[in-house]
Amino acid sequence: MDTVTSLGSGIAVLTPAAGSNVSAIAHEATLLFVDAGTVPSASRLFRSSVAPDGAHSTIALLTHHHADHVFGAAGLKADRVLATDATDALLGARGDSEREHLTRAMPGAAEELAATAVPRATETISAPLDLDLGGRTISLIPVGHAHTPGDLVAFDRSTKTLFTGDVAFNGLVPVLRDADSLGWIRALHELLRLEPDRVVPGHGPVGGADILNQMIDLLETLRAVVTGRVQDAEPSLEPADLPERFRGLARAERLTPAARHIANELTAPHTDDTPTKGDTNG
């Protein structure tokens, strides 16, 4: 069941039964969305719940190119769509294949997804940028190649709330199909320097800065475990292969794909943007 949670100070978070978190920041006459969700119909309902009069200038921020974060964009009716240069390029190159993957994962949404165009940015970002929402500063920060080559986060300086997209997962195994695991760890360390009071991850419940530390711990642990198995032709991982603190994570079926991705990084670094098979939800 989809839920909408108010965090106060004009911030609301849509947590869907399936898919990614979508956040809204309403201030003065501006409405900023961080990510767009999976389908326009769900995003349209979320927009209506946070701005029932509709009288807002609307900005949509796409944190990365994965389908579960972008294909709801049309439902937000955004005047501006912002993404990094790399994310917009990946949407152009891989948007159709991303939609196909999402359709296989969500067959009930097949008709709506087929009628939905691949979203593209109206403005691209290559360096940190401060958005002024009528006196409220939202810092947009490209973090380089972490979860994907084009990751972008948003930091609300007035509430010290960090919106990470899939640079952070909370309570579940992350997707690594497009990741640079070392770059991801570096990005998380940089985000800790912001000293956020609250972190809204791409998937999982809202929490504090400990979410970032837990992600660092998990990624470093995965790299250490896989390093010991890197000579295996097809390394596999089960929860029992990890320390006790990670054995309760949801989506444990992602562990083996994650291990194989890291093994590939360690033995033959991946340098192009060829689509890789894997979990769509991430």
Tell me: the pLDDT tens digits for 188-236? 999 999 999 999 999 999 999 999 999 999 999 999 999 999 888 788 9
pLDDT at 280 over 60: no
What pLDDT score was predicted for residue 273? 43
Q: What CATH number labels 3-267?
A: 3.60.15.10
Instruction: Parse the chain into domains and list their residue ranges.
Output: 3-267
Q: What percent of the chain has pLDDT over 90?
A: 88
Q: How confident is the model at residue 147 (pLDDT cuts 50, 70, 90)?
A: very high
Contacts of 196 (CB under 8 A, 6+ apart): 155, 160, 161, 162, 208, 209, 212
Cα R_g (the chain), whole angstroms = 18
What's the CA angle centered on 187, arms 93 and 149, to 5 degrees?
A: 10
275 burial type by CB count under 10 A (0-12 exposed, 13-18 middle, 19+ buried): middle
The pTM assigned to this predicted structure is 0.94
Hey, is 198 helix, strand or coil?
strand
Structure tokens at 39: 């389908």
pLDDT the model gives residue 276: 44
Q: Among all chains, which residue has been given the structure tokens 């958005």?
A: 131
Q: What is the pLDDT of residue 272?
A: 44
- Rounded to the nearest 5 percent, the helix, strand and coil shares of the chain are 35, 25, 40
Between 185 and 268, name the one with better pLDDT.
185
- Residue 228: its pLDDT value, please? 92
- Give the model's pLDDT for residue 230: 83
Cα 189 versus chain centre, distance: 17
